[in-house]
């Protein structure tokens, strides 16, 4: 197994990489100018972005937690949503220049930390075990984890523009364990039959970037364990991150189109693929939104959570029904 993303010549290993990359050895890469020659040390440093996301869904509780290091700032958010009672908690923090924030470049054995005021987030990778720990003073404590035993993660590296690249390692449709304590309420993630998804992404993205994303996890009416990851706007240069997991086995899907009302994203979304393998309707139930305008840097982020209905067709002709499974979609613009 080749553990490094960057080879000895300083080139990125592009393609569908599966589980073959464990280290984003960024020190072995130097950004080039679009017209040739090495970029400045400043552009090389500020151009590299990192993201990590851990979420879980069940019929009784959903949560999402992310850390992003954008060089000029680091951002973290956490929310808990109860389908019956609505939003239970929603909080975000920002640290200028990401001072004190660490995001690991090791996808297999590493620890990422964000600490601002009374909010502390830690994401740990220990082989096949991925875990999340969140503390918000005395009000909230999350201890969640999953394993990748008998599971095929998605790994992809693709070109971004002429000189950039993006790497993503994604997981969906795995059983989530642990507990959440919010004020006087306690949730047992195993007892709730929760399913987790995880996103490890890094790279040199476009100065202005936009994407849509969809993810779901759960069991359908036939008892099959399903995980889905779809995206449009980032990883489509020669390769695609679109995939579905059926009982832990990875199946690649075609390019997808997200049809929704930009001004009213709370209305149903239609997600379809050019090869007919994906036909889904997403009905939002709630959202987490953030907007930022600092002239040189700006963002408009909407992550909506709700239910998917429709079907997915595998390349072998198998139809996989999706009947009310919970998940997420995103509408994201960033200028960084």
Closest CA to 285 of 231, 321, 324: 324
- Is residue 8 in a domain? no
Domain that residue 300 falls in = 15-335
Instruction: Determine the pLDDT at residue 309.
Output: 97
In angstroms, rounded to a whole number, what is the distance separating the alpha carbons of residues 203 and 200? Answer: 11
In angstroms, rounded to a whole number, what is the distance separating the alpha carbons of residues 56 and 216? Answer: 9
Q: How many domains does the chain have?
A: 1
- Is residue 307 in a domain? yes
In order, the DSSP letters of 131-195 are EEEEEETTTEEEEEEEE-TT---EEEEEEETTTEEEEEEEEEEEE-EEEEEETTEEEETTTTT-E
In angstroms, rounded to a whole number, what is the distance separating the alpha carbons of residues 25 and 199? Answer: 18
- Is residue 184 in a domain? yes
Instruction: Determine the pLDDT at residue 307.
Output: 97
Average pLDDT of the chain to the nearest whole number: 95
**Global pTM exceeds 0.75:** yes
Residue 1 scores a pLDDT above 70: no
Instruction: Determine the pLDDT at residue 235.
Output: 87
- Is residue 70 in a domain? yes
Q: Provide, rounded to the nearest whole percent, the portion of the chain with pLDDT above 70.
A: 99
- Is residue 259 in a domain? yes
Residue 306 burial (CB count, 10 A) = 22
Across 66-84, average pLDDT: 95
- Is residue 186 in a domain? yes
**Which region holds residue 98: left if phi is over 0, alpha if psi is between -120 and 50, else beta?**
left
Residues 118-155 pLDDT 10s: 999 999 999 999 999 999 999 999 999 999 999 999 99
Residues 183-207 pLDDT 10s: 999 999 999 999 999 999 999 999 9
Across 169-193, average pLDDT: 97
- Is residue 6 in a domain? no
Residue 83 scores a pLDDT above 60: yes
For 70, the 3-state DSSP assignment is coil
- Is residue 4 in a domain? no
Q: How confident is the model at residue 101 (pLDDT cuts 50, 70, 90)?
A: very high
Residues 267-320 pLDDT 10s: 999 999 989 999 999 999 999 988 878 777 888 999 999 999 999 999 999 999
> Is residue 14 within 8 Å of 157, Cβ to Cβ?
yes
**181-to-67, 139, 332 alpha-carbon distances in Å:** 21, 8, 30
**16-to-164, 240, 280 alpha-carbon distances in Å:** 17, 8, 24
């Amino acid at each position: 197994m080749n553990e490094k993303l960057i080879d000895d010549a300083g080139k990125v290993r592009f393609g569908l990489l599966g589980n073959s990359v464990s280290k984003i050895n960024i020190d072995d890469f130097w950004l080039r100018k679009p017209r040739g020659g090495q970029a400045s040390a400043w552009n090389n440093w500020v151009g590299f972005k990192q993201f990590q996301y851990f979420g879980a869904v069940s019929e009784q509780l959903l949560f999402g937690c992310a850390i992003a290091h954008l060089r000029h700032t680091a951002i973290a958010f956490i929310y808990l949503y109860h389908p019956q009672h609505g939003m239970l908690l929603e909080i975000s923090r920002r640290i200028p220049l990401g001072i004190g924030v660490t995001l690991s470049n090791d996808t297999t054995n590493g620890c990422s930390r964000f600490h601002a005021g009374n909010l502390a987030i830690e994401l740990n990778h220990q082989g096949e075990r991925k875990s999340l720990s969140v503390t918000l003073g005395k009000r909230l404590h999350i201890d969640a984890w999953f394993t990748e035993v008998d599971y095929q993660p998605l790994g992809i590296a693709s070109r971004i523009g002429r000189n950039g690249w993006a790497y993503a390692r994604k997981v969906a449709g795995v059983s989530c364990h642990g507990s959440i304590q919010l004020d006087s309420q306690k949730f047992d993630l195993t007892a709730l039959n929760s399913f987790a998804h995880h996103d490890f992404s890094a790279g040199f993205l476009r100065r202005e970037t936009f994407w849509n994303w969809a993810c779901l996890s759960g069991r359908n009416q036939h008892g099959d364990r399903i995980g889905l990851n779809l995206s449009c706007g980032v990883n489509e240069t020669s390769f695609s991150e679109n995939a579905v997991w059926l009982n832990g086995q990875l199946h690649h899907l075609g390019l997808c189109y997200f049809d929704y009302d930009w001004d009213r994203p709370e209305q149903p979304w239609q997600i379809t693929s050019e090869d007919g393998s994906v036909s889904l309707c997403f009905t939002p139930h709630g959202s987490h939104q953030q907007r930022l305008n600092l002239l040189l840097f700006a963002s408009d982020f909407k992550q909506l959570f709700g239910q998917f209905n429709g079907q997915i067709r595998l390349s072998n002709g198998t139809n996989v029904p999706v009947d009310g499974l919970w998940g997420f979609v995103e509408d994201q613009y960033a200028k960084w």
